Amino acid sequence: AHVALARAAIEQLGLDELRVFPTGMAWHKSRALTPGPHRLEMARLAFAEVPRAIIDPREVRRDGPTYTVDTLRELQGEQPQAQLVLVIGADQAEALDSWREAGQIARIATISIAERARPHAPAGTFDASHVPGGRWQPIELPLMPFSATDIRARVEAGQGIDHLVPAAVARYIDQHHLYRPT
């Protein structure tokens, strides 16, 4: 789904480039994350065939909790003339008002939201009231009912994921014994 989202965002929004930021220390996650170097390498493998996608390691390398607003400020400082667009899924957008400095995020970047099938989400369309300032753009995605959580659970259960992730990512997960019970 992340690769499909990247392709859809580049095409539908006419992006010159799409930066992919594997998360550093996620302030909002209660579970331990896969070590940063693994997440960075899986991102490189997953997006290798996506033209104009750039893997940006800054959040993985940042000390302490990772906040989107900090990354956007850095990008704005590096490229002051760029029009920034934050591409997120509807699940993240629904929680956006709880993010650090959500209003500032909306002032710095246009929020672009992709809706996809989510098995545990309430039915209906995305409620844009969760977007600070109401400034957002939709991205259309094909239905994809599997989340990253579902994929990790499949690996832990010994089920195949070859049809759900790029082949290079499936091999990497297998070679490095990621998401398996300890």
Residue 160 has pLDDT above 60, yes or no: yes
Give the Cα separation of 8 and 105 in Å (integer): 22
Q: Output the pLDDT for position 130.
A: 62
Beta-carbon contacts of residue 154 (< 8 Å; ≥ 6 apart)? 160, 161, 164
> What's the pLDDT tens digit per position in 31-60?
667 888 999 999 999 999 999 999 999 999
Rounded CA-CA distance 139/31 in Å is: 29
Identify the weakest region by mean pLDDT among 11-20, 23-32, 125-134.
125-134
Whether residue 114 contacts residue 89, with contact meaning beta carbons closer than 8 Å, is answered with yes
Tokens 């400020």: give the residue: 73
Is residue 25 pLDDT above 70, yes or no?
yes
How far is residue 42's CA from residue 155's CA, in Å, rounded to a whole number? 15
DSSP-derived 3-state class of residue 171: helix
Residue 156 has pLDDT above 60, yes or no: yes
Find the length of the chain: 182
Q: State the pTM of this model.
A: 0.83
Question: How many percent of the chain have pLDDT more than 70?
Answer: 85
Residue 107, Cα to own-chain centre: how many angstroms? 20
Q: 87: which strand partners?
A: 112
pLDDT digits (tens, 9 = 90+) for 74-87: 999 999 999 999 99
Lowest-pLDDT range, 9-13, 60-64, 115-119?
A: 115-119
- What integer pLDDT is reported at residue 134 of this predicted model? 62
Query: What are 128's two structure tokens?
Result: 């844009």
Q: Band of the pLDDT at 105, cuts 50, 70, 90?
A: very high
Answer yes or no: are the C-beta atoms of 24 and 61 closer than 8 Å: yes
CA-based max dimension of the chain: 48
